[in-house]
Amino acid sequence: MSSQASNSRNDNQPDDTGRTEPRPGLSRRRLFGAVGAGAVLAGAGVAAGRLTAPEAAAPTSEVVPFRGTHQAGIVTAAQDRMHFVAFDVITDSRDELVAMLKKWTEMAARMTAGEEAAEDGAIGAGEYNPPSDTGEALDLHASKLTLTIGFGPSLFETNGKDRFGIADKKPAALADLPKFTGDALEPARSGGDIAIQACSDDPQVAVHAVRNLARVGFGVVAVRWSQLGFGRTSSTSTSQKTPRNLFGFKDGTRNIKAEDPDALAEFVWVDPRDDQSWMAGGSYLVARRIRMLIEPWDRTTLHEQERVFGRTKGSGAPLGRKDEFDDLQLGAKGAGGKPVIDKDAHVRLASAEELNGIQILRRGYNFTDGTDGFGHLDAGLFFIAYCRDPQKQFVPMQQNLARNDALNEYIKHVGSAVFAVPPGVGDGGYWGSTLFDG
């Protein structure tokens, strides 16, 4: 077997974000048939360099390590696809909840490594047992799958009730978000006790992971809402090309990137001195389902579209500049002393310059979910932000946008949720161990 096809994980060293380097990956098929001819053939495919063939083993970069200082899926270079799910916890038993989180952790470690959800898998438990993996990812690789867990405010306290004995561990940063001007939130698309963000370059791999976690959570959790996303709308690494959102603009140009440890420490990772030590090394996730009213947008002129964002549609350069990564010149004046980037342009209102230095890490995805029943596409941006304190970062930013942004004519916020994303799982730990065992 070529070294590229090996599944050894202990030769990996942590990088400067606390994660280990991507590891070589195996397809589930090869694991499942590890003693059979299929295994030999798959390995031979890699050895022969046929990595582009559909049945070839995953290249090294396709497995993102599960364990580390921080959870994967935050600064991990954003994958192409997402399945996000929010659960309600339907048991009042802390023991049942913790047992499920332990089981989920084992499964997540396996699935992100490209393995089946459990050892006996789709067919190994015999004819007379329900399979312990649903099977739809059997022939697929890990495809950079990351699974990131978060805990919502309602897990700590629901209607004044401390269901799981963790109310005193609720961080101040995890307060419910305030209502913003123009919010049209649907309760069925908002909130949740626990969230899982599954990201992968293969949609079936992400869906398979969420489905198997939901299956094992039966009786403990129930799916509250879920969202599929495609075409990431942000870059989280300087190695990535900036993608475009459904309005056709490059999105993620001025995002915090994995290669900027100072910005990550200041704006993304919870510091040990911040409120609630169990969150040190974690972050907070804000999710907003934002409808994009693409029909009126598509009837506006290019000039208006560029004015709304404050950037050009072609290169993504700030108005008045040449290249995508040129600085915003927010003080620049054009004809008649008018600002080159309008007072209500999206990039001005969301910029650190306008917000006392505040920044967030964006990691959203496009979505289209059929029609809204009125002849329009139900399309938009599933906005995800990671920050060290949503109350101090996302809230003031969104307040400024909700009140003043020219973009508001073309968008509507219909879903909202906030989650505390605990630190990464170390050896022997499980999802939530710093909260429940700390």
Ligand X SMILES: C=CC1=C(C)c2cc3[nH]c(cc4nc(cc5[nH]c(cc1n2)c(C)c5CCC(=O)O)C(CCC(=O)O)=C4C)c(C)c3C=C
Q: Is 249 a binder of ligand X (CB under 6 A)? A: yes
- Does residue 253 interact with ligand X by CB under 6 A? yes
Q: Give, in order, the Cα–Cα distances in Å from 356 to each of 284, 308, 334.
A: 20, 22, 25
Question: What's the closest the beta carbon of residue 251 comes to ligand X, in angstroms?
Answer: 4
Among 252, 281, 422, 423, binds ligand X (CB under 6 A): 252
Q: Which is nearer to ligand X, 189 or 250 (CB)?
A: 250
Cα(95)–Cα(9) distance, rounded to whole angstroms? Answer: 31
62 touches ligand X by CB under 6 A: no
Q: Is residue 290 part of the contact set for ligand X (CB under 6 A)?
A: yes
Cα(249)–Cα(302) distance, integer angstroms: 11
Q: Output the CA–CA distances (angstroms, integers) from residue 325 to 310, 321, 328, 397, in the order listed.
A: 13, 9, 9, 22
Kindly state whether residue 245 participates in binding ligand X, applying the rule CB under 6 A. yes
Question: Total residues contacting ligand X (rule CB under 6 A)?
Answer: 29
Residue 415 touching ligand X (CB under 6 A): no
Nearest Cα to Cα of residue 430 among 106, 146, 156: 106
Q: Determine the angle formed by the axes of helices 203-216 and 94-112, rounding to 10 degrees.
A: 150
351 touching ligand X, by CB under 6 A? yes
DSSP conformational letter for 179: P
| 277, 313, 351, 360 from 409: Cα distances, Å | 42, 18, 20, 23
Q: Does 146 contact ligand X by CB under 6 A?
A: no
Q: Are 408 and 402 a contacting pair, CB within 8 Å? A: yes
Q: Which stretch binds ligand X (CB under 6 A): 52-60, 128-136, 212-220, 343-351?
A: 343-351
Residue number, 122 or 397, with CB nearest to ligand X: 397
Of these, 103, 170, 288, 363, which contacts ligand X (CB under 6 A)?
Answer: 288
> Who contacts 52 (Cβ-Cβ below 8 Å, separation ≥6)?
none
Q: In terms of CB distance, is 101 or 418 closer to ligand X? A: 418
Give the pair of three-digit tokens for residue 90. 């339907």
Rounded to the nearest whole angstrom, what is the least distance from the CB of residue 174 to ligand X in the complex? Answer: 17
Minimum gap (Å) between residue 115 Cβ and ligand X: 36
Cβ nearer to ligand X, comparing 285 with 425: 285
Compare residues 208 and 257 and give the one whose CB is closer to ligand X: 257
Query: Do residues 79 and 144 touch, judged by C-beta distance below 8 A?
Result: yes
Instruction: By CB under 6 A, name the binding residues for ligand X.
Output: 245, 247, 249-255, 288, 290, 292, 309, 311, 328, 346-347, 350-352, 360, 380-381, 383, 394, 397-398, 401, 411
